[in-house]
Structure 1
């Protein structure tokens, strides 16, 4: 019987139209490519008056909704959101706002993190959204990992991809990831997973 992975990386995202979800799957593939690491893919529900009272406790399809125990158990975190006026989407911010107990206890302090996003327009706020997602992670004491220019796709891309994190230009019709966007999502997942292993060895 194979042993369980030594590092579990939480890939936590919100996706309205599928673009961020597609990128999240590439990020998870990158995590899983690192020996001894495994991606735990989770999403968050929309924010609405009916969320707790009426909506089902699990999504109809895709990964399950995240719980705070997922945050507590992870060895690293990859956070993804579509852009909302150059900022992360409210559902993801709502979930992060509920992590005060984990902040007080230092649950995530010293663990690695990365961020990714998807936009409908090419200049729709990719970089500012990525930076907005970093802020709560810094408050948690996490070690933020970006994408270095040693990744060839970062210089070649004509759509998504930034040194602040992976990104995807979905367009108004929801275009699929191109090769460069997919490669950078994969690279981000692998990079954060590798850091999680090295940091865990020193704890």
Structure 2
């Protein structure tokens, strides 16, 4: 279903340098950065609200810990001066933060989410948002995901993990669109 974006807020999730650290597994989406930058740029061009989400890890030695270079946003994804940053330390951007209140103050009814990683912070934020009553939209091709161990000595490819999570989210929690589908809708809203 094509979402109504009249009262939508864009939520880039955890697009941080720390995920380039060699301690993280390989990511699968070669188009992630181009799609995510196009989405961010297109949203800014029409002057719609954006709340950037940054994972401020509390785990010792994390590449995403505050004060570490990996905590910074990736090049091109830095917030503009007027764009707020929401700090979180768990998977969901709604847990332990004031995201719900910020969205209400903006008069939002829809949250458009994308970022790193589909199966973790993006999925958890989409699920929590839907459970709280927000209309959630996932821009699937502006997400990325890691290859992960399967617990039996093998690896599950990031693309397979991404696809499974997108299918689950679309079945019950959100509308799923591509960057190319969303940008004209946002401009028309």
Shorter chain as normaliser: what TM range? 0.3 to 0.5
